[in-house]
Structure 1
Amino acid sequence: MTALQRSGPAAWRQALSGFFSGFAVSLSLFSLSLLSLSLVSLSASADTVHLKNGDKISGDILALDASSLRIKPGYTSAITIERSAIQSFETTEKRQWSINRSVQEVTIEASTDIGMVLVDNEPVPLHELLFPVADDSEPWRYSGSIEAALDGTHNSRDTQKLRAKTDLTAETLNWRHNLKTEVHYELEDDVTKRNTLQGQYSLDYLVNDYWFVRQEDFYQQDHLGINTRSYYFALGPGYRLWGVDRDKLDLVLTYNRFWLDNDFFSYQLNAWAATLNYKQYWFDGVLETFADYQVAFIDVPTIDYLSDATFGLKYLLTQHIYLSFKYDINESKSSVSHNRDISYGLGLGVNF
């Protein structure tokens, strides 16, 4: 007989108790190890947003648009973070991102530079990224502004120009509508020189992230002396040279048909035109720079070209109210003359 058999039931009970106690301790340690591994795994698989104040938020990034990022941490409901508060972020799984209007399936690494991320070890500005990639079910997005301005003219005469304008945009995945209206009132040496109403509507069909087709209509009516009306219709391709969402540099080439008439005559002509539209936001959207340039080559032998250039900036005073400064150059060149009209203006507007 063994010593354990000779010792009787009490010894058996003590031996079994020691065995099960040791097994329970081993099981507890194993469970803790599994829990630790699970927590490490969850932490390792989470996306991380690095904020400018030094904080980090980990979770699943749900969306990134022009104004904010949404992330779902494991310990609370989804959080919305303004773009202006983000230094960088990183992801752990490959997903489809819109990067500078190009759809790419990538993982993103954090950058030490403010407002940048790394894609394939290449720095990319945050403002060029969107997530998720838009689909056919994307709702319409609306934006616009209303502005009043006082313009001046660079000449020897005492000239004041009052201007009021509206700018409305509605867009979805494949379509972008834009409607602009302007009222101009010009006073020169206390004599009314201009009282004009303008309206411009453009429709862009977005073929892909770069190419689009633009159809544009423009109408102007002068309410001073002889009522004069002018209208043009334009159609042609456009290409986004740079930018995404609010930031952009677009080139558009169009064929234009002009109509001009008043109480005494009516005239029609054709032209080819090239247009550049530029817009960019700085300092987390506080400052906006913009420029529009158009040059038209008319099928009139005596006229070389007509051009219209606008350069300016907007500064946000609050989230919706802004100050604007605009510099305009209108130029025409013919076989007999070369005219240039320069004006500038300071305005106050509201974004919505």
Structure 2
Amino acid sequence: MFSRFLLFLAAVVACAPAVADTVWMKNGDRLSGKISVFDGGKLLLQTTYGGAIALDWKQVKTLESDQELLVKQDAYTGEKAKSLHAADDGKVTLANDEAPKTVELASIQQIMKPKPVVEDLSWKGNVDLAMDYKRADTDSDDYDVDFKTSARHGRWRHQAEGEYNRESKDDVTTTNNWSAEYALDRFLTEKWFWQGRMEFKRDHIEDLSRQRTVGTGPGYQFWDDELGAFSLGSLLNRTDYEYADGGKDNFYSLGMKWDYNRYLMGKRVQFFTNGEVGKPLGGVADYALDAEMGLRYKVTEWASLNLKAEKDIIRGTRESDLDKTRYTAGFGVTW
């Protein structure tokens, strides 16, 4: 008798439908999976049959989910719904402790999984490492480590990045430098923000040994969602140069920063480029460029391979110009 009961229980469990979210499209398609996020006009649905699928929000008829989700109808505040229920075309019902509320899909700007303590905190970043060892007639060692991270809560966004490069041949160091930068953004509207930033660069080999920059200015966030981000910023900078012989320069400059990244091929490949070009408001230098461009391939949800090209140019300094190009390949961690 007991064995029959266990057999019956196993059959019931096996026949029970798997918990999944459902999205109905305007063309009649019905998709099942797990809702990851909605932002930037794209609903990301994680499926077992096709990986992460980005759905055009304008083509969604209605949807349902048993997950607890944070639904935001403006850029900064949201309502936590214990579940979502299908409703009439172009609508969805938010179920919570109070009476269920039906809202227009067009009024929703963002859907995400609630975070503990701070519900709308988002944090992302990556650490990349590249190494090259050669033992032959000429021995060489090459190291490159860099990180970049961004955290946003409400109208504030914190960004930090740093890099370390070192190359040597036959125990003679030919490259040895590092840099660090911190930026704080205050969003004035959904897209416009004001940025303040600090940056320091140290080079133990080149004649231009130290660079300090403090700047501020407006920026515009074109998009920032699960599939990528793109922002432009203009800055008024105060820069100080220190040379290896003890000489110093300081000047003001106008700069333009960009930060672009986009996932391709179902979020397996990421193309990215970021950097800054500046024009001094004086005769210290003609212009400066610090940029990088590359690809990341996600091996797992957190591990990736990367290929990058970096360019660093300073033209017209009183001592000597700087013009360096660097190519690296390595592995990293992404979150």
Q: Shared topology, TM-score over 0.5? A: yes
- After superposition, the C-alpha distances for 1:145-167 in whole angstroms (9 at most, x for unaligned) are 22211489xxxx99864211222
Query: Contact 2:35–2:43 at 8 Å: present in 1 too?
Result: no
Quick one: which of 341, 345, 349 aligns to 2:324? Answer: 341
Query: Contact 1:271–1:298 at 8 Å: present in 2 too?
Result: yes
The answer as to 2:28 corresponding to 1:64 is no
Q: How does 1:73-84 map to 2 (within 5 A)?
A: 84=51
Query: Contact 2:218–2:234 at 8 Å: present in 1 too?
Result: yes
Identity of aligned residues (%): 21
Structure 2 counterpart of 1:186: 167
Q: What is the deviation of 1:339? A: 6.5
CA 1:132 to 1:165, structure 2 compared with 1: closer, same or farther past 3 Å? Answer: closer
The answer as to 2:223 corresponding to 1:256 is no
Q: 2: CA distance between counterparts of 1:209 and 1:269? A: 33
Q: What is the deviation of 1:318? A: 1.1
Q: What is the deviation of 1:139? A: 3.8
Higher helix share: 1
Q: How does 1:1-352 map to 2 (within 5 A)?
A: 48-49=23-24, 56-57=31-32, 64-65=37-38, 84-86=51-53, 88=55, 89-91=60-62, 107=90, 130-131=110-111, 138-150=119-131, 161-187=142-168, 191-223=172-204, 228-244=209-225, 247-261=228-242, 264-301=246-283, 303-334=285-316, 340-352=323-335
Aligned residue identity for 1:48: V
Q: What is the deviation of 1:279? A: 0.7
Query: Contact 2:44–2:54 at 8 Å: present in 1 too?
Result: no
Q: What is the deviation of 1:284? A: 2.2
CA 1:98 to 1:244, structure 2 compared with 1: closer, same or farther past 3 Å? Answer: farther
Aligned residue identity for 2:299: L
- Aligned pair count reads 268
Q: 2: CA distance between counterparts of 1:87 and 1:146? A: 26
User: 5+ residue gaps in structure 2?
Assistant: 1-20, 65-70, 79-88, 93-104
- After superposition, the C-alpha distances for 1:44-83 in whole angstroms (9 at most, x for unaligned) are xx97347xxx86449xx9873479869xxxxxxxxx8689
Q: What is the deviation of 1:340? A: 4.2
**Structure 1 residue runs of 4+, over 6 Å off?**
66-70, 157-160, 335-339
Q: What is the deviation of 1:276? A: 1.5
Larger Rg: 1
CA RMSD after TM alignment: 4.5
Q: 2: CA distance between counterparts of 1:254 and 1:316? A: 33
Q: 2: CA distance between counterparts of 1:265 and 1:335? A: 12
CA 1:158 to 1:217, structure 2 compared with 1: closer, same or farther past 3 Å? Answer: farther
Q: What is the deviation of 1:97? A: 5.8
Query: Contact 1:309–1:328 at 8 Å: present in 2 too?
Result: yes
CA 1:47 to 1:271, structure 2 compared with 1: closer, same or farther past 3 Å? Answer: same
Q: 1: CA distance between counterparts of 2:166 and 2:153? A: 35
User: 5+ residue gaps in structure 1?
Assistant: 1-45, 71-79, 110-118, 121-127
Q: 1: CA distance between counterparts of 2:157 and 2:246? A: 38
